[in-house]
Amino acid sequence: MAIKLIITILLLSIGSIAKASIDGVNNWSEFKNLLVKNNVVNIDEMLAVLPIDFKNGYSLMYETQALDKNLVSAKRPKVIMFGRKGKFMLTYNSHKSGGYAQPGDVEKIETLEIIDDKMYLRELSFNGKTNPFAKTIEVNPKSCTQCHGQDPKGLWDPYNSWVGAYGSLSRGGMDFIRLGTPEHNKFKEYLKEQKINPRYKFLNSNYKTFKKWSEDFDLYRPYVEEDMHNAIIIGDGHTTLPNQVLGMALGEHNFRRLARQMLVISKEKKQAFQFLIKGLSLDENYTGNPRNKKYSCASKLNDFFPTSVQKVVKPFEVFTDEVLTSMKSDYLVQKSLVLQNNKGLSRIGSIFDPNDPFDFNLKDRKLVFDPFPLSNLFSEKYRYNGSVILLFVLDILGLDYINANINVNSAKFNFYYGSQLKCIGPGKNGSPFEDFCFDEPVERFFTNYLSNSFYSKELDGLSCDQLSKLSRESISKYYRK
């Protein structure tokens, strides 16, 4: 009787705290003020006061390499909450009992705050008794930076697969789990737990099969029973592609972070390579689908370097060959990892084909809803793309291009996260798919992120050939010093 009374009092107190919720949580300061104002001392009370909009946007990890991974399982996944804007995120786990925290229970959450091109990581510890902010909260502690780096970045694989996340494959505006796969069996464990575990049952979700969505709406890529297996579409309270949205938010920050690193190189180096950067920005004057981008100036990239520095600067074709070779093995790792749990939807050769290592033959093998490196699709015609060009520029500027991405498991040379976060909005007539644009930040990197701050305004209006001539002169002078 006493236990029931305690639980009843706890539920009533949580209900009253929820009324104090604010409209949004966009930074650490708002988060801290919210918890202090409501005297929050455990994770359950924290979840109760978080705004609905924030709790509607989340991903679920049933396998993770993050801290406290011993608390993560198929039944009780780690929750990554990021709302709609993705500027402030936090992660938490189920209580070890599957119920509410009790006074004296010590539990931690991790938070991630994005302000412009900087990221701030923190750990917050609750004990169920006292103010968690009584002690100074360290910013970017070693426990975080040992994985996220000294100049922290998010850690999340690029489009279109996320090993260990429910809905680990994505395509056509949907994160999905093929029916009958190990991941689907794990997900069914979670669905049972969601009904009784207080850390999950308040999360808004929208789980329907691909077939059902296709029957209800005119999808861009509909379900075709003779070509593909059915799947569960993983939807949170905002979208049917939460894992992709998370990648968009973290990828967007990483582009700003890389641009900052480029802008703080020496004045001499910036002056020497400004003509090259300006030339590459000319290719980004396009509209619509990234497949319409013309690499007119990038195709002449070697013209930007004098022959005298060929031993110092690797020719672009050589660099491209090396990256594509690395990308091939990198992709095989990523694909094999995700296929252990989620098999892809194609009824024809969805498993790796050794005669088609890049899976370019999407049409004949019907691999539309399978793991594949999206960046390579853009390479088919031109042999290179925005990712390879960005990696090359990072390399010649002396920056770390190997660890430039936010990948966790693999896909380190792929900078394709999908459409920018601002492109996604609610669909018409209840459809989450309709208002979805297709744009790739990496294909506009030199104009969207570096802008004119890298090169002189006097270069505006110059052609690629004019810029390449000036580049040869400036780079030759730079290496003679």
Residue given tokens 């853009």 in the structure block: 378
Tokens standing for residue 267: 């004045």
The pLDDT mean for the chain works out to 86
Whether the pLDDT of residue 373 is over 80: the answer is no
CA pair distance 415, 131, nearest whole angstrom: 41
Q: What pLDDT, on a 0 to 100 scale, did the predictor assign at position 378? A: 56
Closest by CA position to 183, among listed 164, 159, 161, 156: 164
Helix (H) or strand (E) holding 92: strand 88-92
Q: What is the DSSP letter of 71?
A: G
Confidence band of 434 (pLDDT split at 50, 70, 90): low
Percent of the chain with pLDDT over 70: 85
Mean pLDDT value across residues 332-353: 83
Mean pLDDT value across residues 276-295: 85
This prediction has a pTM of: 0.91
Closest by CA position to 280, among listed 471, 477, 475: 471
Q: List residues bridging with 109 in a β-sheet.
A: 124
Mean pLDDT value across residues 318-335: 84
Q: What pLDDT, on a 0 to 100 scale, did the predictor assign at position 363? A: 74
Are 404 and 256 a contacting pair, CB within 8 Å?
Answer: no
Q: What pLDDT, on a 0 to 100 scale, did the predictor assign at position 384? A: 79
Q: What pLDDT, on a 0 to 100 scale, did the predictor assign at position 10? A: 38
Q: Which of these ranges, 213-227, 382-396, 413-427, has the smallest mean pLDDT?
A: 413-427
Q: What pLDDT, on a 0 to 100 scale, did the predictor assign at position 308? A: 87
Confidence band of 5 (pLDDT split at 50, 70, 90): very low
Question: Which pLDDT tens digit goes with each residue over 118-170?
Answer: 999 999 999 999 999 999 999 999 999 999 999 999 999 988 899 999 999 99
Whether the pLDDT of residue 23 is over 60: the answer is no
Whether the pLDDT of residue 292 is over 80: the answer is no
Confidence band of 66 (pLDDT split at 50, 70, 90): confident
Mean pLDDT value across residues 246-257: 94
CA pair distance 427, 420, nearest whole angstrom: 16
Mean pLDDT value across residues 411-427: 76
Are 331 and 407 a contacting pair, CB within 8 Å?
Answer: no
Whether the pLDDT of residue 1 is over 70: the answer is no
